[in-house]
Amino acid sequence: MAKATILTVDDDPGVSRAIARDLRRHYGDRFRVLRATSGDEALEALREVRLRGEAVAVMIADYRMPTMNGVQFLEAAMDLFPRARRVLLTAYADTGAAIDAINFVDLDHYLLKPWSPPEENLYPVLDTLVDIWDAASDPEAPETRLVGHRWSAPSFAVREFLARNLVPYRWIAADEPEGAQLLEAAGLTAADVPLVITTEGKVLHSPTETELAAQVGLRTSPAADFYDVVVIGAGPAGLGAAVYAASEGLRTVLVERSATGGQAGQSSRIENYLGFPDGVTGAQLTDRARRQATRFGAEILSATEVVALEAAGSGRVLRFADGTSIGAHTVVLATGVTYRHLAGAQLDGFCGAGVFYGSAAFEAASCRGDDVYIVGGANSAGQAAVYFSRFAETVHVLLRGPDLAHSMSAYLIQQIEDVPNIEIHPCTEVASGAGEGHLERLTLRDNRTGALTDVDATWLFVFIGAEPQTQWLDGLIARDDRGFVLTGPDLPEAGGRSPRWPLTRAPYHLETSVPGVFAAGDVRAESVKRVASAVGEGAMAVTLVHRYLEAQ
């Protein structure tokens, strides 16, 4: 097995050679030590390491580097090797920046220059970080290979599943020589994509999410038949509930139909979340929360769909799509919401082939030099616009209303105003789309005059409000006319005996019409649709779970 890597990057050649020398002296028998003289050079080295399917244990970056400083490098490197330990090398005058970086890039430590003698100032710190990395329960695995076509919706679905579940993979286009060779070896043609080849060499042709999850190391089956609490949905509310429940000793399982993070996990940058003054990506926040939940002992089931909830005496039974079931004392519904589809625009045939609901951030590089169209005026649309502006020629934001002020945070509006290649189109809707095999054109309508305009477009990202996926709760859980779950004082006839609430006591604040079943986050009627409030409701639900269990 190839050695894992320790990477150091410093633009000062003397410092770069010195730290690499000290690292090889102490760690050369166990690790491969790489050094780079710029952030770009270091990122290229990391990409090569990843392509070889090897691991990175520690990354050490100097703070003061031109073009890309150490914090910026470590932030970019996190996407390649999220579990590598991160160290910032600083001068005494930069310790304030190092402390700020603890939140920005989840920094593990910072070292002051000079570090001599290394036996006192370097090795003890790195020994601890190496031990933490070495003892991690989920070390980085070699990459899965995915052969697909750029405009293939099934290929996009597999890419999205792997990316959102933080599974390392390498995308190989079917029309490239390597892609063609792999397809031929599997007895397939370019029309048969997607093809997935796992790290063990197993070949999967057009796998379902459940099949894919089982083959890439994600857990899909529970370890037990009964739990104290089952959390359904792994967005911010569900992850918050799982962290708090498991940390307080409750036997906890978190069940997710698709990928952890929910809508927040797709965000390119969340900048108004407490404790992250420079913002955090949805993927980074999700990864930290997921690792935190598992560290406390919560189980996380991926690609597992709950299709029914039943009350069985004092217990609650959850039935899965594969026919299996588990029981629990309590349940937390945190299934969130999904983006609504554009009605009447004839775009359903282009889903995953130019039309995307939510932010497919991994497609950003493919948008380089193209025009990108974004529909929506809330924060999620604004965050996507700012992110895609780094790659696209022009980002066109289409608004039904006259301006952004009604639904977008002020800080985000200011950011958009400062980006020259973002254009806002007020009172504009998508009337229709067209193309051969993928989106190629859009027809836009001015909703003030009715005038139609045709534009060339191959990328359309839609953020037009949300709807809960709660149909499976019909007949058991009370919901409002839009499908959101009613809780606590919003329940009809709360506090009395009725078909909606069976007990004489009043329901707890987040309790649904079934005692012991709670709702948190966006799926709950009248909830505040923000990451911070969702996490807070997840934590609050666990407090109410304790109260419910103590009363039984």
Domain identity same for 121 and 10: yes
- Domain annotation covers residue 71: yes
- Domain annotation covers residue 177: yes
255: domain CATH number is 3.50.50.60
Domain identity same for 99 and 159: no
Domain identity same for 333 and 385: no
Nearest CA to 237 among 338, 334, 337, 380? Answer: 334
Residues 6+ apart with CB under 8 A from 482: 467, 468, 525
Domain identity same for 15 and 119: yes
Q: Of 113, 134, 155, which one is at a domain's C-terminal end?
A: 134
Interhelix angle 236-247/531-551, rounded to 10 degrees, is 40
Contact 207, 218 (CB under 8 A): no
Strands 226-232 and 517-519 turn out to be: unpaired
Q: Of 134, 166, 192, which one is at a domain's C-terminal end?
A: 134
182: domain CATH number is 3.40.30.10
Domain identity same for 444 and 515: no
pLDDT reported for residue 185: 86
Domain identity same for 22 and 115: yes
Q: Could you give the CA distance from residue 237 to residue 228 in angstroms, rounded to a whole number?
A: 18
Domain identity same for 240 and 382: no
- Quick one: CA torsion of 284, 288, 290, 293, rounded to 10 degrees? -160
- Domain annotation covers residue 186: yes
Domain identity same for 452 and 358: yes
Cα 491 to chain centroid, rounded: 33
Residue ranges with strand state E in 198-303:
203-205, 226-232, 252-255, 299-301
Domain identity same for 246 and 330: yes
127: domain CATH number is 3.40.50.2300
Question: Considering its fold, how many domains does the chain have in total?
Answer: 4
Interior angle at CA 207, CA 209 and CA 357, nearest 5 = 50
Nearest CA to 380 among 351, 413, 400, 358? Answer: 358
- Domain annotation covers residue 87: yes
- Domain annotation covers residue 114: yes
Q: Of 106, 134, 162, which one is at a domain's C-terminal end?
A: 134
φ and ψ at residue 244, rounded to 5 degrees: -70, -40
Q: Which domain range does residue 123 map to? A: 4-134
Domain identity same for 410 and 458: yes
Domain identity same for 242 and 296: yes
| Sole residue written with tokens 């054109």 | 441
- Domain annotation covers residue 139: no
pLDDT reported for residue 498: 43
Q: Is 461 exposed, middle or buried (0-12, 13-18, 19+ CB in 10 A)?
A: buried
Q: Could you give the CA distance from residue 356 to residue 150 in angstroms, rounded to a whole number?
A: 13
- Domain annotation covers residue 430: yes
Q: Could you give the CA distance from residue 212 to residue 152 in angstroms, rounded to a whole number?
A: 17
pLDDT reported for residue 482: 92
Domain identity same for 504 and 415: no
Question: Would you give per-residue pLDDT tens digits along the chain (552 residues)?
Answer: 568 999 999 999 889 999 999 999 999 999 999 999 998 899 988 887 876 668 899 999 998 888 888 888 888 888 788 889 999 888 765 666 656 655 555 778 888 888 889 998 899 999 989 988 887 645 444 578 999 998 999 999 999 999 888 888 889 999 998 899 889 988 999 999 999 999 888 899 999 999 999 999 899 999 999 999 999 999 999 999 999 999 999 999 999 998 888 888 878 778 888 887 767 778 888 888 999 999 999 999 999 999 999 998 889 999 999 999 999 999 999 999 988 888 877 898 899 999 999 877 778 778 989 999 999 999 999 999 998 998 899 999 999 999 999 889 999 999 999 999 999 999 999 999 999 999 999 999 999 999 999 999 999 999 997 889 899 999 899 999 999 999 998 887 644 444 468 888 999 999 999 999 999 999 999 999 889 999 999 999 999 999 999 998
Amino acid at position 432, single letter: S
pLDDT reported for residue 137: 43
